[in-house]
Structure 1
Amino acid sequence: MTSPFFPTLGRAPDREPFWFLGGQARILIPGGATDNRFSLMEFADTVGHGPPHHVHEDEEAVWFVLDGEVTFFIGDQRHDLAAGQVAFGPRGVPHSYLVRSPQGARIGVLFSPACVEEFFRANGVPVAEAGELPPDVDQALVMASSDPFHLRLTGAPPA
């Protein structure tokens, strides 16, 4: 059964994977499908991958580790998580993560309210085929486009 806020989502171009900061991302439920109440994304990253420390001023984030092991840095706290575990990132709190498992990790991320998924889409590069290597990333250029989304860089990626 389909509700007005949870339409059945087929394999639309919006759900196709794209490269973002060296990993792959997909928008599973765009904000437009939920009246911008939330969006749901999936990130697939290799061992040692992590985005720069940053702050979302407008949205909360809930991370679900789907596969692998990931360390989340939220404020001054460290959370070592494995598949099936969840972390919460309040708006306004600096955060990042680091993939620890050799096979990489997949992370589901719920953002509320929605719209930040458009930042990821705008800075992504379509994945032409499986096995393609990620393109080089100009992190300064990516972060320069973050102002309209109220994202703020607060530090380097964790190591």
Structure 2
Amino acid sequence: MSFVTDSSQPFWFLGGQSRVLIPGQATAGSLSVVEFTDGAGHAPPLHIHEDEEEVWIVLDGEVSFFVGDRRIELGPGDAAHGPRGVPHSYLVRSPTARLAAVFAPARIEQWFVANGTPVGAPDEAPAGFDLDAIVASAQAFHLRVAGPPPAA
């Protein structure tokens, strides 16, 4: 079964391309799935989800996941769990990486979409973004920054 919504269109988020694959409205809020495609060195700030469990599945590329005080090296087909309330992030180690992130319960995908910029053309450069504004808007979704992005 396929779910098509306005948010299924690709959008720029924190310098990478994202796409909501399964919105929370399709699962009565039980979960959502978001795809992220990021370039080498991409790493979101260390952050904590107060409401959601998060599972990452690496579709393509090599990624280091940071969960609490652990660093987990993953490649295509590997998965990792980011429990709610535990600081986590990731770092792309390959030229590009594509991840699917499952959030349970759903809702955080609305924050990604609200802070994204639509992708106009497949070969366009990533859209700029205001990290302070994105972080400030995260409070309404019980997401908070716990530290800087991880580095190699």
Residue in 2 that maps onto 1:52: 45
Identity %: 56
Aligned length: 151
Superposed CA deviations along residues 32-91 of structure 1, whole A, max 9, x for unmatched, are: 000000000100000000100000000000000000000000000000000000000000
1:128 to 120, 127, 133: 120
How many angstroms does 1:13 deviate by? 2.5
Residue in 2 that maps onto 1:119: 111
How many angstroms does 1:134 deviate by? 1.0
TM-score (norm: length of structure 2): 0.97
Letter in 1 for 2:89: S
Residue in 1 that maps onto 2:33: 40
Superposed CA deviations along residues 81-134 of structure 1, whole A, max 9, x for unmatched, are: 0000000000000000000012x0000000000000000001000000111111
Q: Does residue 68 in structure 1 map to residue 61 in structure 2?
A: yes
1:142 to 134, 141, 151: 134
Residue in 1 that maps onto 2:148: 156
Residue in 1 that maps onto 2:100: 108
Whole-Å Cα distance in 2 between the matches of residues 130 and 51 of structure 1? 22
> What stretches of structure 2 of length at least 5 have no aligned partner?
none
Structure 1 stretches of at least 4 aligned residues deviating more than 3 Å after TM superposition: none
| RMSD between superposed Cα atoms in Å | 0.9
